[in-house]
Structure 1
């Protein structure tokens, strides 16, 4: 089998990983990973205390080298969630950085401290595991119940990273800068394993700051990964941080994901730097499925086209494909291809329910398709599809319209029961100036003029801030959304 990380096995003095002042070359990473892999062989599953450190990267690479499924754990998870994950995946070991204090939920597990300076064993031979073998088990956010463990194969990881290399022209010459957590797809698989598969370098900031982004891009970083909250902070800082503008101008590629980036932030960054931000779409179970290509047309507000090897369709509530030439036709995104997860661990019924006939994975995300095939996400089927006055309305497009209003700093849209309309549209807004908040009439007129009258909000609720998770996604269930 072809290796996941060809450059790792070749070894070199090229820097593979940088976390602040700490760094490992490809040769050093190979040594440390091989030393740990020798201790993991035959271990079954292992959990990784996924702090934003070199140790986490070494631990995951070592598990992959040993053919042992790794389960990254969010260090901010509560005791109940951690207990559920440990009980569900039944690991034999926990891997952590020396000195890390682990919670009681992990107390019964044998611990191995990850040594980044370890020497490799005299001999450690073994074939590359088969492509369909599990590489990682990543737990979902658990918005509709306890988190489920999505089993991701080595094939899925490799296929996704190679398809992104094609879409983004990602090569060994790239130096990726990011500050994302390392317990999920975006931060770990794309942000750490992606550069290692290409043979390039990743610089992790540890903690996101606009100063850190400016510094690393000015020092040779070529690619920046972030989520919308990070790009919003970047957009807000452009007028006062000329070094940030200069760093962004030097970047080859800016990528945003995990939630929609408001169009007005696209526009502010583009106007100040001449660079565009590319958006992509995916989820834990499907990894990355679509992206705006680096050589394609700009697509602010869209997530581009399906990646190479990915099939995608939009279906209505009855499972029938929606019209491809109607940009107003909302449908659920369904995908199939080598990027998909294998199963939910210990959940055969949930796995079966996740797929439609023909091996199409039901994402639960709603989108419309523009005339050239670009997808525009309008929200989640469960929380963002609002049925009002006989129309099916996606919350996402209304949120983007609200964010174009000068008096709106943050916005979320939900539906609530209405005796006449079925559901009425509720706008949850954080004012740009709390002393001069927008009125419902102002916002309704604004939305109606940009979209359609039936998409205007009927209720306005003002907030000091929107509830968000670690990835910056708004937790609408905390707002009382449907």
Structure 2
């Protein structure tokens, strides 16, 4: 297939900035040289691991591996030794790429190590990899067992990034800001490989801060990628930070993903800046499936329409297809298209189970479709679909309703067994004022007025904070087990 990064071999683009992490940066010519030097040492390595810190070294390692046609496994530096041991045993990398001087934990440190020299000098090899060849292996969160390695082919990387370029009118003139980790598809594939494929540049904050966002957007950056936790912090900071509001107002595109952005935060940001946050929907196995388009309506609470090349349908539990686009009929999202992964590494059983008999990937996400095709996700099938009193209810819409109450800072909703209803709706709430939390009846009435009486929470539990993972997703299993 053609090169994933055509700008790297374009002499006229050599002086253009490609990557910046804090005070350290590389032009396209410097990136090509550093990646070429490293790629020359990777030929015939089989699969390699990358110690994926938020650093210039990680970006160079990823580009070098892809340029050499060597699949790589990004490792989360925050993973425990047991999880790292499982991933390494399962993926069997021949060596690990890491920044010089970075200390590696036990199972990773036992691998042969190759330090990444971001000032190395070399020439990029000819890109001879095929579109079905693996690009990287990304391990899932492992919520239902040990993490599984999703093998993502080069075809899926190119397809997703080009589809997003179409939806977002993403070009080489764009400068992206983000502060996401680099061990997953949002931060690494979209946030690093995306700008490089377009011929644009990326400024990574190292660690997210609203000051960093304001600074970079104020200095010419055009796009911001973030997760809901980041946008919530932005929404909280905006009333007292006119420079942040001005910087966001000047951005071409604000994108949120990895979890649903509460409508309340959407509205607060739009009111303060005049800019709407665009949401997109994807997952490790499929990369990106849908997005709100820049030439469409940025409708809060939805993830837009299927991207070019992606087919999407909703199905009932028995597998029958839901034809209605009525904004009410809840079904599981299934997708197919060139954006999908190839397999779960070493798990043919899990790979087979992930697909329907007619070849659609079962996402496990529940959604409704609006009459104009917009997709609104209401939660995960395993944790967010609540069957109560004969109704199928999505936890996400109740969470959004709770967050519209001024006394609620954070909210999570799930179902618990109930002898009468089948499941009762339970809400965990972080109050705005812990000394004076809104009452359970008040919150139930609030939800009933906005949605419907059968969607009101039957139980409300108060917390100081909700448990979240590195991407800001609420850990509902931890809430249920507490």
Smaller-chain TM-score bracket: over 0.9
Which residue is 2:88 aligned to? Answer: 86
For residues 23 and 136 of structure 2, the distance between their equivalents in structure 1, rounded to whole angstroms, comes to: 28
- Contact residue 408 and residue 430 of structure 2 kept, 8 A: yes
Contact kept? 2:39, 2:125, Cα under 8 Å: no
What is the SS of the residue equivalent to 1:129? coil
Equivalent residue pairs, number: 480
> 1:139-218 counterparts in 2 under 5 A?
139-218=139-218
Q: Could you tell me how far apart the structure 2 residues matched to 1:394 and 1:19 are?
A: 40
- Residues 279-314 of structure 1 deviation map (CA, whole Å, 9 limit, x = unaligned): 000000000000000010121000000000000000
For residue 9 of structure 1, report the CA deviation from its aligned partner: 1.3
Aligned residue number for residue 119 of structure 2: 117
| Deviation, structure 1 residue 82 | 0.1
Deviation string 1:322-377 (CA, Å, 9 cap, x unpaired) is 13232111000000000000000000000000000221000000001111110110
Structure 2 residue runs of 5 or longer lacking an equivalent are none
Q: Is the 8 A contact 2:36 2:125 kept in 1?
A: no
1:318 corresponds in structure 2 to 318
1:148-170 C-alpha deviation (Å, 9 max, x unpaired): 00000000000000000000000
Give the RMSD, CA atoms, in angstroms.
1.0
Alignment counterpart, residue 33 of structure 1, candidates 9, 15, 35: 35
The answer to whether the Cα contact below 8 Å between 1:323 and 1:329 also exists between their aligned partners in 2 is: no
Contact 2:445–2:456 (CA under 8 A) maintained in structure 1 = yes
Q: Deviations over 1:43-76 (max 9, x none)?
A: 0110000000000000000000011101000000
Is the CA contact 2:68–2:125 (under 8 Å) kept in the aligned structure 1? no
Q: Give distance in 2, aligned partners of 1:288 and 1:325.
A: 21
**Secondary structure, in 3 states, of the residue corresponding to 1:167?**
helix
Structure 1 stretches lacking a partner, 5+ long? none
Residue pair 1:47, 1:94 contacting (<8 A) in 2 also: yes
Distance across 1 between alignment mates of 2:298 and 2:121: 47
| Secondary structure of the corresponding residue to residue 132 of structure 2 | coil
Tell me which residue corresponds to 2:478: 478
Per the alignment, in what secondary structure is the counterpart of residue 3 of structure 1?
A: coil
Query: 2:427 maps to what in 1?
Result: 427
Contact 2:224 2:254 in 1 (8 A): yes
List aligned pairs for 1:258-337, cutoff 5 A: 258-337=258-337
In the alignment, the residues of structure 1 paired with residue 448 and residue 146 of structure 2 have an alpha-carbon distance, to the nearest angstrom, of 39
Structure 1 Cα separation of the partners of residues 110 and 273 of structure 2: 52
Measure the CA separation in 2 of the matches of 1:7 and 1:481.
50
- TM-score, normalisation: structure 1: 0.99
Aligned equivalent of 1:228: 228
**TM-score, length of structure 2 as denominator length:** 0.99
Determine the structure 1 residue equivalent to 2:243. Answer: 243
Matched, 1:97 2:99: yes
Partner of 2:50: 48
Superposed CA offset, 1:399-431 (max 9, x none) = 000000010000000111100000000000000
Distance, in Å, in 2 between the alignment partners of 1:127 and 1:365 is 36
